[in-house]
Chains A and B, each alone.
Chain A
Amino acid sequence: MSDFNSEFWSYFVGGVTLVGVFACMLLLWLTARKKIPATADNTTGHVWDEDLREMNNPLPRWWMWLFILTTVFGLGYLLAYPGLGSFAGKLGWSTRSEYEQEVAQANKELEPLYARFTAMKPEDVAGDPKAMSIGERLFMNNCAQCHGSDARGSKGFPNLTDGDWLHGGTPDAIHETIAKGRIGVMPPMAAAVGTPDDVKNVANYVLSLSGSPHDSLRASLGKSKFGACAACHGNDGKGNQALGSANLTDDIWLHGWGEDAIIAMINNGKTNQMPAQEGKLTDAQIQVLTAYVWGLSNKPAAARR
């Protein structure tokens, strides 16, 4: 507990709490001994609004014992659990430890459920409707925020259903992407390519690779300057999954389509990150997710649902 910036406040809060409990006990002890004179009409003698009188209807004695029990319980509670200033309690309970216990308990209960799937090949898991409904929920809770509920992504977030992979589409590669995360870097290349006109020519050449609308004169001029790009994207522009460099020939544009978007990428570059899920999800969960993501663009052995 580091909520107090001085020990004084810990003692102050603990002291006030204890004084409160003991004051309740004292009050109970005093009222239990107190006797009041009985009146002839069994009222307390108070009269309001002309004729409203307060009857003397005493509380039952067992009720007083319940009061006393609550104060005793309170002291026991304060001894066992945090409550007296920064005193952590004899049981060492905390919300964090309870949360961790519950997560561990839940994971233990889930283990046999996942055991069947972790023993299977990802290609087979993708054909199991039960595994896929688990996978779908995992995806909705952990992946859909960026990749979209339908896994089709959006600008800057890859579409996972189109069979185009920056870092490889084998189950092993997908598993590594989910577990370890990925960082994709496109450095600013304007200086390496040349003048702004050269950049525009290269952009048109890139567009021509996928047969997208382009200026063919500029494209043929840009081809010679593409050498600066080929180190990562390859001479044929097909990219390199080992580097995570994009395939420029397939008409899939993660960071925007058209001349302007490509010029912006060449001039400014971009760093894109897929966060690692290891530690957040269990390995069994990552295996099921791997199969689910793989199944989005592959037909598994057994037909899905």
Chain B
Amino acid sequence: MADDKPAAAAGRRIIPIAPAPAGKDMVSLYEAHRKVYPRAIRGVFARWRWIMVFLTQLFFYGLPWLQWGERQIVLFDLGARRFYIFGWVLYPQDFIYLTGLLVVSALSLFLFTAVAGRLWCGFTCPQTVYTEIFLWVEKKIEGERVARMRLDKEPLSAEKLVKKWFKHIVWLGIALWTGFTFVGYFSPIRELGLAFLQTRMGSWEVFWVFFYGFATYGNAGFMREQVCKYMCPYARFQSAMFDHDTLIVSYDPGRGEPRAPHARGETQGPDGAALGDCIDCSLCVQVCPVGIDIRNGLQYECIGCGLCVDACNTVMDRMHSPRGLIRYTTQNALAQRGAATALLRRVLRPRVLVYATILAAVSIGLLASLVTRTPLKVDVVRDRAALSRIVAGGRLENVYRLQIMNATEATQRYRVAARGLDGLTVSLDDDPVEVAPAQARWVAVRLQIPYGSAPPGSHPVHFDIGAEGTATQVSEPSVFLVPR
């Protein structure tokens, strides 16, 4: 093993380890929280982060206000157990679609993470998005990073009190609006708004507005990066999807080191030693929303937001050095200093192709199943008390209960037929069965065969239920019992 060590070391992932804080010989098992004051920055990734904030929040805040016909476009009516999404009326029995959606979400996370690391965390995760919104408010009211740090250190003054109060009021306003919107997905939001204005909201609605609002306020205002560091499970297991060809935000130590403050164009330090491109301005550390130094290498705290890339590029521009001292790159590319084309070729590796294929298959399957869905469900329950009975006319009768679930938003009239045995006849009290929009109804159905026309035992039969005036048709199996 010893002789292949040097070769292995070149290709092996080496995580540069951050040195322990200087001057501390004994450390506690628990860490006191140090507040992070991220500095605002402009750049490609900062702009993408704001685009994602607008896209996701326009969707989240806006969607419940749209109408679909007479009702809200997306409404999860938990009380009635009906889930309205665009033209679909879903029943709890349609849970498989939620499963499909979660599988698609998980596979998307796998795919994006394999290609470019924690893209979800850095750009679209609600924790990131609300933290960004709250930070923006904080910056507008308390000022930039340095001003905020100074304000926090200052003794209490009228100005500090006003600023802090104002900030929290704006935060609470956003948080409560978020909670209100969240509840609006479960309780029609227009009526909810009216109920709020007339102070007659239901107690559970009030609870959830405040609970979700409080969670937003606490997580985006105070917990921030600690949610990602200590609480979020996705953050932890995403590292299992990283490999040497995953695009991650990296500092290029080969180009940057040895770092030292220096003027534009300087390549040698005062002692004559060669200088790297890093001028140790610490801007990359100041903009980091999780408070790490990317120059220490890949760290578990890094959410891959790319703000340090923006910060460093700004500095490199001013230094007239090429951009990309901190950039999205792969460990392989960094180790081999390969060309950009080689890097992109490695993106289409088997892992990515497998994830993409499964994701495409599940997505297409889910969509196809939704589009071709029959808006009718039927459960057949054979009566349990009596196996069968002989009725007038010497016929053998079995009784069934059919639960007919109308998954359309119009009243439907259903016809019930049965097949599978000679001389099988169907009788119902109400024929056709009328079922109100998005409602389910139990009906008793009797099947009869002439006595002696089938041998004793269990015989498979099928119920065919069709809606009048539509092509909707469902077939459900059951059995007909003939006694000995």
Contacts and interface: CB of A to CB of B under 8 A. Distances in A.
B399 interface: yes
A115 interface: no
A42 B20 contact: yes
Contacts of A56: 20, 27
Contacts, number: 105
Interface stretch (A98-106, A142-150, A224-232): A142-150
A41 B444 CA distance: 75
Given A41-B19, A41-B20, A145-B384, A155 B27 contact: no
A152 B399 contact: yes
A36 interface: yes
Nearest to B397: A152
Interface of B: 12, 14, 17-21, 24-33, 226, 230, 300, 383-386, 389-391, 397, 399-401, 429-430, 442, 444, 446
A157 B399 contact: no
Contacts of B18: 42
Nearest to A253: B390
Contacts of A26: none
Nearest to B300: A57
Contacts of B383: 144, 148-149
Q: Which of B29, B31, B230 has the most CB of A within 10 A?
A: B29
A155 B389 contact: yes
B24 A38 contact: yes
B230 A38 contact: no
A59 B230 contact: yes
A280 interface: no
Contacts of B401: 140, 144, 149
Given A35-B26, A38-B26, A58-B27, A148 B386 contact: yes
A160 to B, nearest CB: 12
A140 B430 CA distance: 16
A52 to B, nearest CB: 10
Contact of B444 (A51, A149, A153): A149
A59 B31 contact: yes
A55 B389 contact: no
A62 B20 contact: no
Nearest to B14: A51
B31 A140 contact: no
Given A38-B24, A51-B12, A57-B300, A150 B446 contact: yes
Interface in A27-46: 31-32, 34-43
Give 7 closest A-B pairs by Cβ, nearest first: A154-B386, A150-B444, A35-B26, A149-B444, A58-B31, A42-B20, A154-B389
Given A57-B300, A60-B226, A148-B383, A41 B17 contact: yes
